[in-house]
Amino acid sequence: MAEERSPGAPFFYLRVSFGFTLTELIAVILIAAVLAAVAIPRLTRGAFDDSQLYDETLAALHYAQRTAMAYQRTVCVTFVGNNQLTLKYTSAYGLSTCDQNLPPPAGNTAAYLVTAPGSATYTAHVDFNFDRVGRPSTGQTISLSSGKTITVEAETGYAR
């Protein structure tokens, strides 16, 4: 609050003005913009991590089922802890133990691996496999930390 004497006014009469100066307004807007630029991406990162894990897991399950049918081999889906999923397959027709790393579509020799980014995790999961016609050993519901779920149909093996 700034107090100014009006010209020609008696000594006891003061004019009072309220408000912010232009410099104060610019400083507040600048601070708010910096905070918004830094804070908003951090607040939404968890949702992005969960969505990324959901998409990558769904893609891995579709790939596992299609590979089982194309190779005519069993493909195993294995969860490592609460943050990784790996795919392996049997090296010979008729075997039941997955002993070979299933390479990703890019053709690396490493196993197909999905690693949960950031704070995202698998909260409920069971290891299972797809047989040579694409059916899972059991129907599955895979839950993620965000509350999203992926269901693998018991009869068809379709993941959704």
- Residue pLDDT, tens place only, 54-67: 999 999 999 999 99
**Is residue 141 a contact partner of residue 128, using CB atoms and an 8 Å limit?**
no
Q: Is residue 13 part of a domain?
A: no
pLDDT(158) > 70: yes
Range of the domain at 74: 46-152
- Mode of pairing for the β-strands spanning 140-144 and 14-17: unpaired
Residue 3 has pLDDT above 60, yes or no: no
Determine, yes or no, domain membership for 36.
Answer: no
DSSP structural state of residue 130: E
User: What's the pLDDT score for residue 110?
Assistant: 79
**Helix, strand, or coil here: 37?**
helix
- φ/ψ bin of 90: left (φ > 0), alpha (ψ from -120 to 50), beta (otherwise): beta
In sequence order, the 6+-apart residues with CB closer than 8 A to the CB of 26 are none
Are the CB atoms for 127 and 76 separated by under 8 Å? yes
Q: What is the CATH number of the domain that holds 68?
A: 3.55.40.10
Evaluate whether residue 95 is within a structural domain: yes
- 7: confidence class by pLDDT, cuts 50, 70, 90: low
Percent of the chain with pLDDT over 70: 85
Number of domains in the chain: 1
What are 86-120's pLDDT values in tens digits? 999 998 887 878 999 999 987 777 789 999 988 88
Q: How far is CA 140 from CA 16, 37, 121, 124, in A?
A: 73, 41, 17, 10
